[in-house]
Amino acid sequence: MLDDTFTIVDMEKVLSGNEVQVGGYDLIYKNGPIIMASNSTLQTLLGCHNNRINQSKQLAKSTSMRLAQIYQEKL
């Protein structure tokens, strides 16, 4: 839980700000309630099973790809 909290604080500025899920935390409100996909019966992921290890790996992969692309554009 502490690791997920520090990830959300994002002192290194690596997150894009568009994440809906970070570790064990789910975004439920951002300038209004978060609307799930149209084919979803849920309004939020709050209280759902959340495999934080898989989600953390997915977040790390997408973040590293985004940062690599930014780095390549600066070259």
Which residue do the tokens 């959300």 mark?
8
Residue 43 pLDDT = 64
Q: Do 23 and 56 contact (CB within 8 A), yes or no? A: yes
The whole-model pTM stands at: 0.53
Summarize the confidence of residues 40-61 as an average pLDDT: 74
Q: Strand locations in the chain, DSSP E?
A: 21-22, 25-26
Q: Tens digits of per-residue pLDDT, 22-40? A: 877 777 778 877 777 777 7
Q: What rounded mean pLDDT belongs to the chain?
A: 78
pLDDT value for 7: 79
